[in-house]
Structure formats: C-alpha cells, structure tokens
C-alpha cells in the first residue's frame, strides 16, 4: 500500500463524515459524522507520519492529541445531548435550537 491509498481512504472518511454531519437532524448522528471526520484526519496524519518521517515522534504526538480531542468532544457532546433530552424530551437539532431562557 502506498501513501495515495491511505490519503484516499482518509478523504473518503472525511467526506462521508461531512455528509453525515450536514444532512442529519439527530444530535447523535451529527456527532457520529464529526467522529468520522476526525478519524479521517487520524488516518491521514498516521499515513503522512509513516511515509514522510517514520523515525520522528511528531506524528505520534499529533495522533494522540486528535484522539484525546475526540474523546473530550464525545463526552461533552453526549453530556449536552443528554441534558437537552432530559429537560425537553427533544433529540432533534431543529427542536433543540430554541434553548433561550
């Protein structure tokens, strides 16, 4: 396998995630699309690291930072989605848009 195939996989994951995040109404499905987008970034970063500078640790550090950001984003997103559902019994983004006062 070469770098182009890994980048094609990463672009596909990112595109599917972008479509999922923009086309869905459910909060959980939007978060799943964002996770697919971040997984595409992880695949691209790992491929660049492996093919460009396999001896360096910069790529590994960046991958760990992105995975940590994914975990924090999922925890915060599910906490917000759970709070919205508990307070208003709403799981769609259009219904949750009017969160004023």
**Confidence at residue 79, expressed as pLDDT on a 0 to 100 scale:** 86
**Confidence at residue 14, expressed as pLDDT on a 0 to 100 scale:** 96
Which ranges of the chain does DSSP label H, i.e. alpha helix?
Answer: 3-23, 27-52, 58-88
- Tens digit of each residue's pLDDT (9 = 90 or more) over 65-95: 888 988 898 888 888 878 877 877 776 665 5
Of 100 and 82, the structure prediction assigns the larger pLDDT to: 82
**Contacts of 51 by beta carbon, 8 Å cutoff, 6+ apart:** 2, 3, 6
């Amino acid at each position: 396998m070469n770098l182009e195939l890994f980048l094609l996989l990463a672009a596909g994951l990112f595109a599917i995630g972008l479509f999922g995040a923009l086309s869905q109404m459910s909060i959980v499905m939007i978060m799943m699309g964002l996770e697919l987008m971040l997984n595409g970034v992880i695949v691209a970063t790992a491929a660049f690291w492996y093919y460009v500078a396999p001896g360096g640790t910069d790529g590994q550090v960046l991958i760990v930072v992105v995975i940590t950001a994914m975990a924090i984003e999922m925890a915060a997103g599910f906490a917000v989605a759970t709070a919205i559902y508990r307070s208003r019994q709403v799981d769609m983004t259009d219904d949750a848009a009017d969160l004023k006062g």
